[in-house]
Structures are given as structure tokens and as C-alpha cells.
Amino acid sequence: MSIPSQKTCPGVPYKASRAPAAVLCPFRAYYAFFVRISDKGGLFINSGKKLVIALCVLAVLVSGAFFAYRHLTPKVAEGTKTITVSVRHADGQLRTFKITTAAEYLSGALEQEKLIEGTEGQYGLFVTSVDGEAVDSSKQQWWGYTKSGAYVDTGVDKTVISDGDSYEFSLHAGQ
């Protein structure tokens, strides 16, 4: 087997490795870059004026984040609302429920009707059973849901409900 040239990665000595040199080169060069910069003391910013400007920029960023949270987070609707929940079972049977509730989140409305069961996990409530049909983990089954046919990117305990909403639950298998 021929030994690769030492010029395969400029500035970094050749060392036999199982990984291809083309993969290792960028990482070695990246590490060597920081070693060189930091060994020379790095960049230097110590001007009071620049620090005050940076502090002001940070304050603006914090305010911006707070503003985004206040105005972009879905608002909780107070009072009684009526929603429609359809459940498509594994055998194709479709059952529809009209729920009148004062709950703010979808999980509250479903638990009120005893329609779901689940376990609390790292990412909130993980639904394990809907309308009496439990998932079979050996078949990698899971309950998914949409709102008026559109994908919902929050769990049932984070989904804010409004009057007239329509949700569809269906059993999926696999990833």
C-alpha cells in the first residue's frame, strides 16, 4: 500500500489514520487555525466606547426577543369554545366528537372527554391512546394529528384552541 504524500494537508504533519485525508484535513486545519490565533493572544477589544455600544446592542436584542415572544406566541383564548375532533382508527372507522370546553389547550379539551391517554416526557405529553385505541409500540405506531388538514408543529399540551377549530387524529406506523 502506498503512503500518501505529506503535502496532502499543508501545515499539518501526516499521521496515518483510517479516515480519508480529505475528511480530516478541514478539521485539522480548523483546529490549527484556532491554536495559532489563540497562541498569539487572539483579537483584542478593550475600548470603553465599543463595549458600551456592544452592551446597548445586547439590550436591544433582549428587548427584541421579549417583543417576539409577546407578539408571536399564540394567544390563549378565554371563555367557552366548541371544537370538532375526528379520530380515524386503524380499521378505517371514523368517529367525530363535538367538544364544548373552557380548556385553553387541546390536551385539556381531550382529557375532559376522556379521549386521550399519554405519558409526560421530555417534550411534553406523548399521546399513547386516542378514543380507546392504544398504540402498539412493537409496530412503531404513533398518533398524529392535523388542524383543518394542516400539519401542527406543537404537541397537544402546547396547542392553543379557539372556537370553531377542527382537529383530525389518525394512527400512523413507522417513522
Residue number with CB closer to another protein (13 or 79) = 13
Report d(CA 86, CA 115) in Å as an integer. 11
Rg (CA), the chain: 28
- In this structure, are residues 52 and 60 in contact, taking their beta carbons and an 8 Å threshold? no
Note whether 34 binds another protein by CB under 8 A.
Answer: yes
Note whether 119 binds another protein by CB under 8 A.
Answer: no
Q: CB 29 → another protein: shortest distance, Å?
A: 12
- The one among 73, 119, 137, 138 contacting another protein by CB under 8 A: 73
- Type of residue found at 86: S
Q: CB 149 → another protein: shortest distance, Å?
A: 15
Note whether 72 binds another protein by CB under 8 A.
Answer: yes
Q: CB 85 → another protein: shortest distance, Å?
A: 22
Note whether 68 binds another protein by CB under 8 A.
Answer: yes
Among 127, 103, 105, which residue's Cα sits nearest to residue 117?
Answer: 127
Q: Which residues of 127-157 are buried (b: 16+ CB within 10 A; e: fewer)?
A: beebbebebeeeeebbbebebeeeeeeebbb
Residue number with CB closer to another protein (120 or 153) = 153
Residue number with CB closer to another protein (75 or 80) = 75
